[in-house]
Amino acid sequence: MSTAENGTVPVAVIGSGNIGTDLMVKVLRHSPTLRMGALAGIDPASEGLARAARLKVPTTHEGVAGLAAMPGFADIKVVFDATSAKAHVRNAEVARQHGKLMIDLTPAALGPFVVPAVNLEAHLEAGNVNMVTCGGQATVPVVAAVSRVVPVAYGEIVASISSRSAGPGTRANIDEFTETTAEAIRAVGGAEAGKAIIVLNPADPPLVMRDTVHCLVEGPVDKAVRERISDSVEQMVETVRAYVPGYRLKQDVQFDAVPEALVPELGRRVGGVRVSVFLEVRGAGHHLPDYAGNLDIMTAAAVRTAERTAALRGWVKPS
């Protein structure tokens, strides 16, 4: 277990809400290489800033401007943005001006999409990388797992999360969620076209995150190919589980014949086989409740991206 004192790569978090606080806790207690340099917010009375102060993490309630003015900012290597798509524009510009790696947890998507299990090493030189969305982090790896075996004409995902784990930022960015996730299904997952749907489930007690992934593959798919697809999906799930322990398949990969039908996103009729994958994402419980797997997978993916990038850029001091 790491502490703020023995991590070797200083990082800062902008946003003192649930996501920002969970990032801070992950860095302080669970990262062997990262060290908390600062937590920035805009509400001086926020619980996140108060907790950071108790943990002896430097804080500011003056947002990105206050962060940039802090004495230790020059040493910061990585800045996590856990604010909003709108606020990210300014935050990203400040990070760029100071030469910091920006890891964006908002749906702003100013930089390339990164899903650690799929394409992290393709963007090691980027100054700003986007973590897509919670639905994207959970489902794009599965689309990629299918598309590395056979071409995927169309990918559709449904992310169902507890309404209790959908804060003001998530609710304000629903449109960005669907657009960003659909684009990542194509750009990272490898599908020709994609669609994303999010469902806020009001059940009480709250349900953990559930994700359904449908991949439409044109033409017949014989038994051998189906086995290769299933193996590929299972291998990808294990890759994601390395940094999101609560990520798992709910049942075996399903295959169904699909009659030819019009797919508006493709602008043509398609027939073949539908590959269906059902997932559950349970949070690690570091700061957030375990049902908030949608938030946990974002922070876990962001920390993994920072750790891996730091190692490959040579920022990690040898032990």
Q: Catalytic site residues? A: 134
Give every CB contact of residue 236 below 8 A, 6+ residues apart in sequence.
117, 141, 142, 144, 145
Q: Is 19 annotated as a binding residue?
A: yes
Q: Is 95 annotated as a binding residue?
A: no
Assigned token pair, 118: 């799929």
Q: Is 147 annotated as a binding residue?
A: no
State the DSSP H helix or E strand holding residue 103, giving kind and residue range, or none if neither: strand 101-104
Q: Is 29 annotated as a binding residue?
A: no
HSE-CB of 136 using CA atoms within 13 angstroms = 34
Q: Is 6 annotated as a binding residue?
A: no
Q: Is 103 annotated as a binding residue?
A: no
Q: Is 167 annotated as a binding residue?
A: yes
Q: Is 17 annotated as a binding residue?
A: yes
**Maximal C-alpha separation, the chain:** 63
Count of C-beta atoms within a 10 Å radius of residue 74? 11
Angstrom distance (rounded) from CA 182 to CA 136: 8
Q: Is 116 annotated as a binding residue?
A: no
| Residue 244 identity (one-letter amino acid) | V
Q: Is 7 annotated as a binding residue?
A: no
Give every CB contact of residue 238 below 8 A, 6+ residues apart in sequence.
none
Q: Is 166 annotated as a binding residue?
A: yes
Q: Is 130 annotated as a binding residue?
A: no
**Token pair 């920390």 in the structure block, residue:** 303
Assigned token pair, 309: 């990038």
Q: Is 267 annotated as a binding residue?
A: no
Give every CB contact of residue 284 below 8 A, 6+ residues apart in sequence.
244, 245, 246, 290, 296, 300
Q: Is 91 annotated as a binding residue?
A: no
| Residue 186 identity (one-letter amino acid) | R
**SS3 state at 190:** coil
247 and 190 Cβ atoms separated by less than 8 Å: no
Annotated binding site: 16-19, 165-173, 294
Q: Which residues are annotated as a binding site for NAD(+)?
A: 16-19, 165-173, 294
